[in-house]
Amino acid sequence: MGDFMTNIQRINSQIEPSLHDVGIVHIGLGAFHRAHQAVYLEQTLALHGGDWMIASANIRSNHKLVEQMQAAGHCYHVVEYADTSNAHLREIKAIKNTFFCGSDEGREALLSQMTAPATKIVTLTITEKGYYLAPSTGELLLDAPEIQHDMTASSQPKTALGLILEALKQRRAQGFAAFTVLSCDNMPHNGVRAKGAVVALAKAQDDEFAQWIEQNVAFPNSMVDRIVPAVSDQDLAMIKADTGISEATVVKCEQFSQWVVEDHFPAGRPKWESAGVQMVEDVSSYEMMKLRMLNGSHSLLAYLGTIAGFKTVADAMQDKDIRTFLEHYMMQEVAPTLPSFKQTELATYCQQLLARFENDSLQHQLKQIAMDGSQKLPQRWLSGLTELQEKRLKAPAIELGIAGWITFLCHAEQKQQSINDPLETELFALVRRHRNDGRRLIPALLQRKDIFPASLAQDQALLIRLSSVADGLLAGAKVQSLMRSAFQNKDK
């Protein structure tokens, strides 16, 4: 503990006092932020300049990355791979400062930056669980210990929501305009959800302040798309061999990148469109297509591919049955839920995704995608499944995916392997209680209203089908065989 706190003190003692040239504060310093938003801003600054540099922060974890970024003067490289023989190198200097909020000093330094008049935008990549919203209802989890802390000790917040509230409170008291809050997380209507979480926490403290936020703070929706796997020691060796770069902060990603943002920034914004950002009036159709087609396919790969014995996305994509299964899923189960797009547009996007998944240079680990399942499934599968049921359309791929997730839970609980899920304790308890009775385990899991819509728990035919498939997977049934039969029998 002593070494840890010494590191924190040294990290935060290096915080630069200059605040004027930072226009964006980002919460959730990690690989995706550095390979996506920071890259777009780097390109924008190269074209237009301006006081739009980024100050990035981690709240409770990964203080080592902050230390590494500060030691490197916040300069790092992004290596974009089209395949193993085609790498493009970028140097990124758009991040001006970094913070770690595991101490009072770090938190106060971050709040000082957030309340500085030059800060116009606060962006977020804190994952679904960082918003503390029940996945199925969108309601703030008021009983969560971190939320309870921020309700009772609002001046010393531990969550991103609490930091936003405290910074806005201080700005208001000083007569500064509110900043815009821009979520860059993979959630449908992420701006709406961010606003709902912030306002709900504010209401728990001060209803008048909550009304002020609703009237004065913009929360535009956005859609982000770039595959950015965690960098392993093997990746570092490959990057060094390919580029000569040997640094702890290097980021590896695919060459494809997309960012679609609703253009609502009352306090101003960078000229992102010059770097390829799509500034639009409504992002909802884009985000739904991406969440269900790309992220939904990724989750299918994560659970079913792992059960089939594969380690990475690219490895699983070498299996023809898996590739065909994903294509069927996207075109037969997702496409009917995306009426805003022509069938030809969806078919083109589908083939682009399949090609991206086959990129073997990324070594995207399936276990990385499998984490936080309870937070991801409602957006990626379950909302689409309910729409298909309303249209009286079958969804064998999604149902097989749900059975795969349940099998994944059972295997993880048996091996005592963490699934990095906020509901891990509750889910593992259900698995232990019904370990030898799948006919009870399935209904018990689907009755979790914080994950599954009530209509699914009441669908007896669905429960029977899920139990049958999950029993097969737990008994060792071959995944590829179940994939083939799923679409062969879809009209029966």
End-to-end CA distance of the chain: 61
CA distance 146 to 48: 40
**Same domain for 318 and 200:** no
CATH number where 371 lies: 1.10.1040.10
**Same domain for 224 and 113:** yes
CA distance 390 to 453: 13
Backbone angles phi, psi at 390, to 5 degrees: -65, -30
Residue in the block written with tokens 């003067």: 73
User: In this predicted model, what pLDDT tens digit does every residue of 349-397 receive, in sequence order?
Assistant: 999 999 999 999 999 999 999 999 999 999 999 999 999 999 999 999 9
Residue 489 — pLDDT band, cuts 50, 70, 90?
A: low
**Same domain for 317 and 193:** no
Computed over every residue of the chain, the mean pLDDT equals: 93
Spell 82-96 as b/e; 16+ CB within 10 A means b: eeeeebeebebebbb
- Token couple for 299: 């989750």
**Same domain for 365 and 229:** no
> Where does a domain end: 256, 280, 304?
280
> Where does a domain end: 262, 280, 298?
280
> Where does a domain end: 251, 280, 309?
280
pLDDT of residue 19: 64
User: In this predicted model, what pLDDT tens digit does every residue of 411-433 receive, in sequence order?
Assistant: 999 999 999 999 999 999 999 99
**Same domain for 231 and 164:** yes
Sign of the CA dihedral 446, 447, 452, 457?
A: positive
CA distance 485 to 115: 58
pLDDT at 17 > cutoff 50: no
**Same domain for 446 and 467:** yes
Boundaries of domain holding 359: 284-488
CATH number where 243 lies: 3.40.50.720
**Same domain for 319 and 272:** no
**Same domain for 384 and 270:** no
CA neighbor of 375 nearest in space, from 431, 282, 469, 295: 295
Residue in the block written with tokens 């989750």: 299
Quote the number of domains for the chain: 2
**Same domain for 121 and 183:** yes
Residue 470 — pLDDT band, cuts 50, 70, 90?
A: very high
**Number of residues written out for the chain:** 492
pLDDT at 3 > cutoff 70: no
**Same domain for 446 and 410:** yes
**Same domain for 449 and 309:** yes
Number of other residues whose CB lies within 10 A of the CB of residue 20: 11
**Same domain for 275 and 289:** no
Query: pTM for this structure?
Result: 0.89
